[in-house]
Structure 1
Amino acid sequence: MPEVTDVDGLTVGQVSALLGVTVRALHHWDEIGLARPSLRTAAGYRLYTTGDLERLHRIVVYREIGLGLDKIGAILDDSTADVPSALRAQRRQVAERIERLQQLSAGLDRMIDAHERGLLLTAEQQAALFGPEWNADWPAQARQRYGDTTQWQQYAERSASRGPEEWRAVTDAVAGVDRALGDAMDAGVTPGSPEADRLVERHREVFASYFPLSREMQVCLARRYEADPGFAAHYDGIRPGLATWFRRIVDASARAHGIDPDTATWQ
């Protein structure tokens, strides 16, 4: 490598600033023979010539479109290399990456909407799925009340991946549990019996469509079903007294698992 006494090239630092690459990267490219400076000063400092800069510009461009250093070296050093084919292949990979990023962006939009709205359904879709008694304002009211809770976050994450058909499956599962509870009450199933305990577990499993429900949380929920006029009207509309009966079978199941229903908390 020629030595010069007068600075007639650019130093590593100057090239780094000019091209927007790190000094470390320039040193690495020098070490692997990808882009070596053509000159050195008498003191041993690297100097890059105009020709060196042209090669570095191409390296930066190829690297930014995603080519690996080995591929870049082959393109730059092999006069027989089919550059257009290599670039077309890279363009296909870039297009695939763009499509994946667009899908990711759409997913993020749905997740944001789900956290803010709860249900990603129109008012008409909600009415068709949940029945004429459904109030399309309820999701917004629920977010205002529970939006800072872990359970709302879990609910939103599930909601983000659901469309009308997925919500119909959830609605059908919930309706199935409600019917089973009413039938069991009619049949005289007693709290603490194996059949009652199975219904309690089934309720927990189905409710997990919204968010995971611990046994203690289920106790709190069952008591709210009984005490809240809206929930009580729903369950007592299925069978008179069903809200209270459901609370009793949940309490009995909780006791069997070492939980005192009178001290259970939402956890």
Structure 2
Amino acid sequence: MTTGEGLTVGAVAELVGVSVRTLHHWDRIGLAPASGRTWSDYRVYDDDDVARIHRVLVYRELGFPLAEIGSLLDDPAADEHAHLARQRELLLERISHLQEMVSAVDRLKEAITMNAPLTPEDRVEIFGTDWKEEYQIEAEQRWGDSPQWAQSQERTARMSKAEWKQVKAGMDALNADLAAATRAGVDPASPEAAELAERHRASIAQFYDCTYSMQVCLARMYTQDQRFAETYDALEPGLTQWLVAAVEANARAHGVDPETATWE
């Protein structure tokens, strides 16, 4: 309600959208006091009081502590236009940040909608019965803290079932060509072998950025982990060693010494 002297605290609370309790607190600490009192000692606010409350709300919305807001509003040297310009600049920065957040949420929603994670049934359909969930668990235990693992998780989260099928088809084609090259006795240091080594590195780079040095380390792991060696040699006897030799020869051609190659 209003009085002949101004607005009551209840009327101001409804007008500006804050609680009566908040206005009482702001009055007590001198942040936004009521300039008048009724004959029965109730607070009443004039137009200037309400304008100050609006300014407090803007600064509070921008994250300013109440004590700093009070200093800003009570500084006798303060320039009103400078205050408004500062408010506008901060609001624009916040709007830009919120727009970026909205875009990120939209991208995530799209990824969830269009590229739902593969179910165990999907994995079996795409990769066959050789796929085992413990492989994923083991890989996370070994590399879960690495930036490459984080990068691969980010990329695969966006991949649809159709894209996974394309990945599997590409891997099958590469493995068939690697087996054929081994069978034909292709020199691992030849241009033909270098092209296959590049395709091998590209297949890894679908998931994380793979340098020539990293590729050398991975190829050597194929000989150290019997499961990898058995998988490649089942395609063509001697394929594992041939692939290692081709990867190392290609790395040398790009200035990487396989003897000193590290995960970088």
**For the structure 1 residues 214 and 102, does the alpha-carbon distance in structure 2 shift closer, same or farther, using more than 3 Å as the test?**
closer
Report the equivalent of 1:261: 258
Checking the alignment, whether the CA contact within 8 Å between 2:144 and 2:150 is kept in structure 1 is: yes
What 5-or-longer segments of structure 2 have no aligned partner?
Answer: 1-34, 37-44, 63-101
Alignment match of 1:126 (pick from 100, 103, 123): 123
Q: Which residue, out of 80, 83, 106, partners 1:103?
A: 106
Q: How many residues align?
A: 183
Describe the superposition over 1:225-252 as per-residue Cα deviations: whole angstroms up to 9, x where unpaired. Answer: 1121010011011111110111011111
**C-alpha distance after superposition, 1:39-63 (max 9, x if no partner):** xxxxxxxxxxxxxxxxxxxxxxxxx
| Cα distance change on mapping 1:108 and 1:199 into 2, 3 Å | closer
Distance 1:107 1:175 in 2: 29
Q: Whole-Å Cα distance in 2 between the matches of residues 126 and 254 of structure 1? A: 33
The 5-angstrom pairing of residues 47-196 of structure 1 reads: 103-104=106-107, 106=109, 120-196=117-193
Residue matched to 2:59: 22
**Conserved in 1, the CA contact under 8 Å of 2:216 and 2:261?**
yes
- Is the partner of 2:251 in helix, strand or coil? helix
- Name the aligned partner's letter for residue 103 of structure 1: D
Q: Conserved in 1, the CA contact under 8 Å of 2:251 and 2:257?
A: yes
AA in 2 matched with 1:220: C
Name the CA shift for 1:258/1:21 in 2 (closer, same or farther; >3 Å).
closer
Return closer, same or farther for 1:138/1:120 CA change in 2, 3 Å cut-off.
Answer: farther
The answer on 1:226 being equivalent to 2:229 is: no
Deviation of 1:129 after TM superposition, in Å, equals: 0.8
Which residue pairs with 1:31 in the alignment? none
TM-score (norm 1): 0.61
Mapped partners of 2:231, 2:186: distance in 1:
20
Supply the distance in 1 between the matched residues of 2:111 and 2:173 (Cα, whole angstroms).
33
Structure-2 change in CA distance of 1:14 and 1:227 (3 Å): closer
- Rate the CA distance shift 1:102–1:192 in 2: closer, same or farther, 3 A: closer
Change (3 A) 1:141 1:15: same
Q: CA deviation at 1:162?
A: 0.8
Measured after TM superposition, the shift of residue 197 of structure 1 is 0.7
**Structure 1 stretches of at least 4 aligned residues deviating more than 4 Å after TM superposition:** 99-102, 107-110
Q: Give the conservation status (yes or no) of the 8 Å contact 1:126–1:136.
A: no
CA 1:173–1:109 in structure 2 vs 1: closer, same or farther (change >3 Å)? closer
How far apart, in 2, do the equivalents of 1:214 and 1:101 lie? 29
Letter in 2 for 1:170: V
Deviations 1:183-224 (A, max 9, x none): 011111102111011111111112211212110011111111
**Percent sequence identity over aligned pairs:** 37
CA positional deviation for 1:109? 6.7
Residues 100, 214 of structure 1: CA spacing in aligned structure 2 closer, same or farther, 3 A cutoff? closer
1:251 partner amino acid: E
| TM alignment of 1:8-47, pairs within 5 A | 9=46, 10-11=48-49, 12-17=51-56, 20-22=57-59
Q: Is the 8 A contact 2:111 2:158 kept in 1?
A: no
